[in-house]
Amino acid sequence: MKAPCEEVQKKEDREGEAAAPGPRAETLEAKRSWTTDSHSASGTEGTHGFGEPVMATLYLESCQANNVVPVSCLLRQGSASELNLRHRGLGPQGVRALASVLTSNLYIKHLDLRDNGLCDAGAEALADVLYKNNIISDVDLSENQIGAAGLQAICTALALNPTVQKMQLQGNRLEDQAAQHLAALLPRHTGLKSLDLSYNQLSDLAGEALGPAVAENTGLTELNLSWNHLRGLGAIAFARGLEANIFLKVLDISHNGFGDSGACAIGEALRINNVLEELNMRNNRISMSGALKLGLGLQVNQTLRILIISKNPIRSDGCAGLLKSIRNNKSSALELLDVSDIQVSRECDDLASSMNKILPGLCIQRNTYRRKEWPQASTPSQPASAPSDSGLVSNMPH
Q: What is the DSSP string of 163-221?
A: T--EEE-TTS---HHHHHHHHHHTTT-SS--EEE--SS---HHHHHHHHHHHHH-SS--
For the cut 50, the answer to whether the pLDDT of residue 202 exceeds it is yes
Could you tell me which of 129, 150, 259, 163 has the C-alpha nearest to residue 204?
Answer: 259
Using pLDDT thresholds of 50, 70 and 90, give the confidence band for residue 21.
very low
CA 328 – CA 298 distance, rounded (Å)? 9
pLDDT score of 92 more than 90: yes
pLDDT of res. 186: 96
Assess whether pLDDT exceeds 90 at residue 105: no
Instruction: Flag whether pLDDT at 199 surpasses 60.
Output: yes
Model pLDDT, residue 3: 54
Angle at 141 between CA 252 and CA 82, to 5 degrees: 105
Instruction: Categorize the per-residue pLDDT at 14 as very low, low, confident or very high, splitting at 50, 70 and 90.
Output: low
Secondary structure class of 367 (helix, strand, coil): strand
pLDDT at 150 over 70: yes
Round to whole Å and give the CA distance between 56 and 98.
10
Of 14-23, 118-127, 205-214, give the lowest mean pLDDT range: 14-23
Q: Tell me, what's the pLDDT at 45?
A: 36
Q: What angle do CA 302, 215, 250 make, to 5 degrees?
A: 50
Total Cβ atoms within 10 A of residue 33: 11
- pLDDT at 233 exceeding the cut of 90: yes
3-state DSSP call for residue 308? strand
Q: Say how far apart CA 311 and CA 282 lie, in whole Å.
A: 6
- With a CB cutoff of 8 Å and minimum separation 6, the contacts of 134 are 161, 163
Q: How far is CA 294 from the centre of its chain?
A: 24
The CA distance from 264 to 261, in Å, is 5
The yes or no reply on domain 1-41+49-167 and CATH 3.40.1350 is no
Can you tell me the mean pLDDT for 167-181? 97
Give kind and range of the element (H or E) at residue 360.
Answer: none
- pLDDT on residue 349: 80
For residue 398, which amino acid is it? H
Question: What local confidence, expressed as pLDDT, does residue 345 receive?
Answer: 82
Which residues is 338 bridged to in the sheet?
Answer: 308, 365
For the segment 380-393, the average pLDDT, to the nearest whole number, is: 42
Query: What is the per-residue pLDDT for 7?
Result: 58
Mean pLDDT of the chain: 83
For 346-382, what is each residue's pLDDT tens digit?
888 888 888 877 888 999 887 744 444 434 444 444 4
Q: Which of 356, 325, 331, 352 is nearest to 263 (CA)?
A: 325
Q: In the predicted model, what is the mean pLDDT of residues 87-92?
A: 96
Through-space distance between the first and last CA atoms of the chain, rounded to whole angstroms: 55
Answer yes or no: is pLDDT of 250 > 90. Answer: yes
pLDDT band at 262 (very low <50, low <70, confident <90, very high): very high
If one counts every other C-beta atom within 10 angstroms of the C-beta of residue 47, the result is 4
CB count, 10 Å around CB of 367? Answer: 15
Residue 182's pLDDT is: 97
Q: Which residues pair with residue 388 across a beta bridge?
A: 369
Percent over 90 (pLDDT), the chain: 67
pLDDT of 392 above 80: no
Residue 170 pLDDT level (bands cut at 50, 70, 90):
very high
pLDDT value for 10:
55
388-394/363-369 β-pairing: antiparallel
Query: Over the stretch 25-69, which tens digit does the pLDDT of each residue have?
Result: 443 344 433 333 333 333 333 334 455 677 788 899 999 999 999
Q: What percent of the chain has pLDDT over 70?
A: 79
Dihedral sign of CA atoms 84, 87, 92, 94 in order: negative
- Domain definitions of the chain by residue range: 1-41+49-167
pLDDT at 294 over 80: yes
* pLDDT at 164 > cutoff 90: yes
User: In 97-179, where do the E strands start and end?
Assistant: 110-112, 138-140, 166-168
Interhelix angle 232-244/259-272, nearest 10 degrees: 10
pLDDT of residue 9: 53
